[in-house]
Amino acid sequence: MSYAGDLAPGASTSFTITAMVPSNGANSSGDVTNTATVTSQTPDPVSVNNSGSVQFSVMPNGADLGLAKRKTPALVAIWPGTGPDADSLMTSTINVHNYGPRAATGNVQVVDRLAAGEEYISGGNAGEWICSVAPAAWNAGGPAQVVTCDLDPSRYDLARDADTPALRIVTRARTPDLALTNNACTGGSGGSLEPSTGSINEDRNTTNDCAGDGTRTTNDRVDLQIEKWTRANDGGTDNVIPLGTNSYSYTLRVTNLAITDAVPASGIVVNDTIPGFVNGNTAGVDRTNVTVAGPAGWNCDVNGPSVICRSGDTALAVGASADITITVGFPFFDSIGQSPGSCGAGAPASGAFCNIAGVAVDPDVSSSVGEINGANNQARGLGCGSSAAPTSERPPRTSPRATLAASAWSATM
């Protein structure tokens, strides 16, 4: 392209070129770089600025579907074939995204090939996905089940850059595989259909069609129980805090209950958040002091108000208990001003300290096993009595003691 006439010093000109990318071959997909170069019959002493480039991405025609998958929880117990199965269930959450360039008008399908030791229970919500499985029943030593889910017709068209509703497939652990890992696919990969667009019925980018995740299984189970009580550091009665005291201690006791076929418990995690924690500042307000004494072999970390203790590979014997003592030194805010219901029924009273502790199993610890009973994995408490103000002055005593009462509120660790 040539410019007609002379271009004066300091002047500029611009023009637009419209081009089509090729349907196949070089530059038909992926990142493409376009470079323009200018020359002149007049000598140009500076040639380094005579070229300019731009990079852009060319998407293959059709609907490019991408899939992501996550399976939870990370550790499940093997279901023996009878009895409760709540601790043996897994949920695979699958998300499909249409990267375009065309809208998908049909055949958005996900095929999830289960692991050999994984049994299909259910899949898809009404009005979102329609799922089927083959073979219909799981058989030990038989072929793995294949779950096929089609996007509900009411969800079309699936526009470019749009997401399908999350697809959730519930399965059950049946055999002691170390990891129930499997892939789910869409966009014509892994046995799924090619998406329809009305013209180009093909997903030409297969690199993002499949994704997998896994869950570790165990034949062993434990029942961990956590208990909690509070004591002022004056040798007073359990669950009683003297008003105006400078510090007190939480005692958390974790017990590996002696259930039938119990085994030593490892990978134990205890979490406790200190209520009313004062962070302190440079204006002279002190910071709440928190110290932790954990069992031998455990690792306890304090990060602001959060206390987390981990047993790692240190095993807690069947029937044995481990104590964690958390000592809290004032200043310390009470719960006055918190929203109703955050500290039991109704609005929190002045001088109340709400606190909850929880225990769980860390599936990332290779020696950990399944937790059979979540009903006793939390310990709650409501302490009463005026706290020390977050300054150098504290309120006067108004009564000799305040009693700790059970709290009706709950939280999830």
pLDDT digit string (tens) for 13-33?
A: 887 888 877 767 787 767 888
Tell me what pLDDT residue 83 has.
87
Tell me what pLDDT residue 69 has.
98
Tokens of 62: 């059709």
Tell me what pLDDT residue 20 has.
79
User: Do residues 145 and 281 share a domain?
Assistant: no
Q: Is residue 10 part of a domain?
A: no
* Burial label, 197 (beta-carbon count in 10 A; 0-12, 13-18, 19+): buried
User: Do residues 243 and 383 share a domain?
Assistant: yes
- The whole-angstrom separation of Cα 203 and Cα 67 is 12
Q: Is residue 39 part of a domain?
A: no
- The whole-angstrom separation of Cα 64 and Cα 404 is 60
Alpha carbon 267 to its chain's center: 19
pLDDT digit string (tens) for 77-134?
A: 899 888 888 889 999 999 999 999 999 999 999 999 999 999 999 999 999 999 999 9
User: Do residues 262 and 212 share a domain?
Assistant: no
Mean pLDDT along residues 256-285? 85
Lowest mean pLDDT among 105-114, 242-251, 257-266: 242-251
User: Do residues 174 and 274 share a domain?
Assistant: no
Tell me what pLDDT residue 130 has.
98
Residue 338 has pLDDT above 60, yes or no: no
Residue 232 has pLDDT above 80, yes or no: no
User: Do residues 255 and 142 share a domain?
Assistant: no
User: Do residues 183 and 256 share a domain?
Assistant: no
Tell me what pLDDT residue 295 has.
95
Query: In this structure, what CATH number is given to the domain that contains residue 98?
Result: 2.60.40.1530
Residue 342 has pLDDT above 80, yes or no: no
Whether residue 73 has a cis bond before it, omega within 30° of 0: yes
The mean pLDDT value of the chain amounts to: 82
Q: Is residue 290 part of a domain?
A: yes
pLDDT digit string (tens) for 161-217?
A: 999 999 999 999 998 766 789 999 999 999 999 999 998 899 989 999 999 999 988
- Residue 402 banded pLDDT, cuts 50, 70, 90: very low
Residue 397 has pLDDT above 80, yes or no: no
Total residues found in the chain within this entry: 413
Name the maximum alpha-carbon separation found in the chain: 100
Residue scoring higher pLDDT (360 or 32): 360
Rounded to 5 degrees, what are φ and ψ at 147?
-100, 125
Last residue of a domain, one of 184, 218, 252: 218
Last residue of a domain, one of 168, 185, 218: 218
User: Do residues 306 and 389 share a domain?
Assistant: yes
User: Do residues 239 and 350 share a domain?
Assistant: yes
Report which of 371, 287, 363 is spatially closest to residue 329, judged by C-alpha positions. 287
Lowest mean pLDDT among 134-143, 318-327, 400-409: 400-409
Lowest mean pLDDT among 57-66, 88-97, 208-217, 305-314: 57-66
Q: What b/e readout covers 101-138, taking b as 16+ CB neighbours within 10 angstroms?
A: bbbbbbbbbbbbbbbbbbbbbebbeeebbebebeeeeb
User: Do residues 389 and 296 share a domain?
Assistant: yes
Q: Is residue 347 part of a domain?
A: yes
Last residue of a domain, one of 218, 236, 271: 218
- The whole-angstrom separation of Cα 399 and Cα 118 is 61
- The whole-angstrom separation of Cα 78 and Cα 176 is 7
Tokens of 117: 């030791």
Percent of the chain, pLDDT > 70? Answer: 81
Residue 388 has pLDDT above 80, yes or no: no
Residue 351 has pLDDT above 70, yes or no: no
> Which domain covers residue 142, as residue numbers?
63-218
Lowest mean pLDDT among 180-184, 190-194, 247-251, 332-336: 332-336
Q: How many domains does the chain have?
A: 2
Residue scoring higher pLDDT (359 or 351): 359
Tell me what pLDDT residue 242 has.
61
Tokens of 240: 């009683």
Tokens of 333: 């805010």
Residue scoring higher pLDDT (336 or 49): 49
Residue 312 has pLDDT above 90, yes or no: yes
Helix (H, G, I), strand (E, B) or coil at 88: helix
- Residue 317 banded pLDDT, cuts 50, 70, 90: very high
The answer to whether the predicted template modeling score (pTM) of the entire model surpasses 0.75 is no
DSSP state of 154: G
Q: Is residue 362 part of a domain?
A: yes
User: Do residues 167 and 301 share a domain?
Assistant: no
Mean pLDDT along residues 239-252? 71
Query: CB–CB of 95/67 below 8 Å?
Result: yes
Query: CB–CB of 29/22 below 8 Å?
Result: no
Q: Is residue 298 part of a domain?
A: yes
Residue 277 has pLDDT above 70, yes or no: yes
Query: CB–CB of 226/377 below 8 Å?
Result: yes
Lowest mean pLDDT among 168-182, 215-229, 337-351: 337-351
- The whole-angstrom separation of Cα 253 and Cα 263 is 18
Tell me what pLDDT residue 346 has.
59
